A and B are shown apart, each in its own frame.
Chain A
Amino acid sequence: MIRILLLLSLLLLGPQGFAAESYLDVTAPTSGKMKLAIAPTTALSGSIPADVARELPELFGFDLGIAGPFEIAPNEVGSALLLKSAYGVQGDTAIIECRLVDQVLNREVVAKRYSGRLKDLRRMGHAFSDEVLRVLTGAKGPFTGKIAYVSKASGNKEIFIMDYDGHNPQRLTNNGSINLYPDFAPSGKELIYTSYKKGNPDLYRRELFTGQEARVSSRSGLNAMGVFSPDGNKIALVLSKDGNSEIYQMSRNGKDLARLTNNHAIDVSPAWSPDGSRIAFVSDRLGKPQLFVMDANGGNLRRLTSNGAYNVTPRWSPKGDRIVYARKEGGFQIYAINPDGSGDTQLTSAGSNEHPRYSPDGRFIVFSSTRDGGEGLYLMRADGSGQTRISPDRALNTHPTWSVNW
C-alpha cells in the first residue's frame, strides 16, 4: 500500500513528489499506515465558536480515519502529516482554510479555501477530505456524496437522504405508503424508487433539487428494484406484468422495453456492470436464490455463485473487479466475489447484514445491519475492515445507496 502511495504521490505531486518519501520513512516499519494528526481548528480572525472548533477536527478524523491509508494520531509531534484548518465568518458566509502539511519535509502538500453558507460547513470540510485523498492516492474521496436510504423514522417506509457520515438526514418522500429501492442516477441529481402511493408498486423518477417527479413505469404488477445504467440512459428493473418476476431494461423514461429473462422462476435484483455490458441478478431457477450474470441483452447466461444455499442482492464494484452480495446462513452476511466466480470472500460476521453497495469510488461498501439492535446503516472499506455505524437515528434504516459527489 505504501509503495503504491509513493508511486502515485510521485506522479501527482510532480516536482514536490519527493515529499512522499517521508511518509515511507515514518510509517513503514510498524502499522503500515501514515500517521496523520489533526490540529485544533484556529480562527482566521477573532475567536472561533466552540462547536466549530470541535466539529471540524472530528469530521476530518472520521473521514480520513475511515479512508484507510491513515492512522489518526493523537499528537502532532511524530506524525508524518498534519491537517490544519482555520475558520472565519464574513457576514453570513463561512470560510475555512485547510492545509495538509508534510511535517518531515516541512512542506505543504495541499491547501484549499472554501466559502459558503454557515450550514454548509460540513460539506466544505468533506470537500477537503476528498481533496486529501485525491492528492495522496490519486483518487478523490467520496465524502461529499449523499446516501439515499429507506427509513421507517416516520412510521412507514419513506425515502431519505443524508450525508455519507449520517449527518443532515432529510426526508424525500412523504406519502404515507411503502417506498422502496432508491437508486441514484449517475449524475447524483435524480433518484428512482418504487412506491405503492397509488396502489400498485410503480417506479418513479425524482429530480432532487426541484422535486419534480415522473412515474416512469406503472405496468401491472411489480415495477421494482430499478437501477440506472452506468451512462444514465437506461433503467434495468423487475416487472411481473407477464406472469412472474422477470428482468427488463427500458429507457430512463420507461420506453423501449426489452425483456432480458424468460423463465418461470423468480428473477430479481438486477445490477449493471460498470461498463454497462453485463447484468448480475438473482434467480431461483435452480431451486434456491443464486446469483447469475448475463449480457445486457439477456444472452450468455451463467451462474456466478456456487457456495451457499441462498445468495441475493448483487452489486458490481465501480472498477468491475468485484461483486458484493448477501448470503443467508441463518441471518445474512455480506460476501464479495470476482465476476468469474473466484475469490469468494466473507466480509461481515456480526449480526445480520444486507443490502451492500459500493461507494462511487469503490473504496467503501454501505450496508444495513442488525448488529446493534434494530436495522441500521453501516459502512466498511471494500475489504471488510473499518466497519462503522452511520445511521442518523435508531429507526429502521435499510437499502443505502451512495451518490457521486454533490
Chain B
Amino acid sequence: MRKRIAGCLVVLSLGALVAGGCAKKDLVKEEPPPPVTAPAPEAAKPAQEARPEAPKAPVTEQTPVREPVVAQEPARETPKASGDLQGLLQKIYFNFDSSDLSEDSRNLLTRNAEYLSKQPSVKIRIEGNCDERGSDDYNMALGERRAKAAKDYLVNLGISSERISTISYGEEKPVDAGHDEAAWAKNRRDEFVVVK
C-alpha cells in the first residue's frame, strides 16, 4: 500500500492526466470477501457473522473542477457601425430536411448580394439553423449545408468567398420556442450577420 501511495505522489507531480488514473485505485475501497461461515441463528447473529477485514485506506474522490466563465461567441456588430447593412440583410427559410433554395430565397439572396456589393469591406457570417424535429446530430450538418447553400449562391453572384464565413447551430438556436409548424417554419433559416 505504501508503495502505491508513493507511486501516486510521483505520478501527481508528473501530470494531472495520469494522476486521475492513479487516483482511481483509491476511489472505492473494498475488502476481499471474508471467509464464508454458516449464518448464525438470529439470536447469536452479531457474534457469528463473518468479520470483513479492516479498511486499508479511505474512499477518496476528487471533485471535478468548475470551469471559469469564458468568452462568449463573437459579438454581433451593431447595425450602425456598418451603415445599417445588418438591418438590410434578410433571413431565408427552408423546407423540412432540405437545404434547397426556394425562389423566394433566391430573390432575397440576390438582394442581399446587392447590399453586400455596395460595402465591399464588410464581412458576414451565415448562420444555418434547423427546427427541432430532426435528429440534433443530423441537424448540425443540415444547418451547415443550409449556410453553405446560401454562401455558394452569394459567391455565384460575385461576392468574394473571403467575405463570407458559415456556422451551423443545428437546432440549438430557435427563434421561436413553439412546437408547431408556425414555429418550425421560422426556425428553419439562414441568418446573415455582419461581423466586420
Contact = CB atoms under 8 A, between A and B. Distances in A.
B169 interface: yes
Contacts of A284: 138
Given A225-B137, A332-B135, A210 B65 contact: yes
A209 B23 contact: yes
Query: In the complex, which range does the number of interface residues on chain A fall in?
Result: 35 or more
Contacts of B68: 174
A95 B55 contact: yes
Contacts, number: 207
Given A111-B52, A196-B73, A211 B20 contact: no
B136 to A, nearest CB: 8
B38 interface: yes
Contacts of B135: 269, 282, 289, 310, 312-313, 326, 328, 332, 354
B81 interface: no
Contacts of A181: 137
Given A107-B39, A108-B36, A112-B52, A244 B148 contact: yes
Interface in A157-210: 157, 161, 170-178, 180-181, 187-190, 196-201, 207-210
Nearest to A331: B133
B59 A115 contact: yes
A79 to B, nearest CB: 14
Contacts of B97: 288
A268 B140 contact: yes
A155 B131 CA distance: 19
B172 A199 contact: no
Interface in B139-173: 140-142, 144-145, 148, 166-169, 172-173
Given A99-B49, A113-B55, A131-B30, A201 B20 contact: no
Interface stretch (A26-34, A64-72, A119-127, A384-392): A119-127
Contact of A108 (B28, B50, B55, B66): B50
Given A124-B59, A197-B71, A312-B135, A112 B38 contact: no
Contacts of A170: 63-64
Q: Name, among A99, A101, A199, A282, the residue most crowded by chain B CB atoms within 10 Å (CB to CB).
A: A199
Contacts of A116: 28-29, 58-61
A221 B141 CA distance: 10
Nearest to A108: B36
A222 B39 contact: no
Nearest to A82: B39
B145 A244 contact: yes
Contacts of B120: none
Interface of A: 16, 93, 95, 97, 99, 101, 106-108, 110-117, 120, 123-124, 127, 131, 144, 157, 161, 170-178, 180-181, 187-190, 196-201, 207-213, 221-222, 224-225, 238, 240, 243-245, 266-269, 282, 284, 288-289, 310, 312-313, 326, 328, 332, 354, 398, 406
Top 8 A-B pairs, shortest CB-CB distance: A116-B59, A211-B65, A113-B52, A210-B16, A245-B141, A312-B135, A115-B55, A189-B20
9 contacts: A93-B58, A111-B50, A123-B27, A175-B70, A188-B24, A196-B73, A209-B23, A221-B144, A398-B136
Given A244-B145, A328-B135, 6 more contacts: A95-B55, A113-B34, A114-B28, A116-B61, A222-B140, A269-B135
Interface of B: 16-17, 19-21, 23-24, 27-31, 33-34, 36-39, 49-50, 52-55, 58-74, 97, 133-138, 140-142, 144-145, 148, 166-169, 172-173
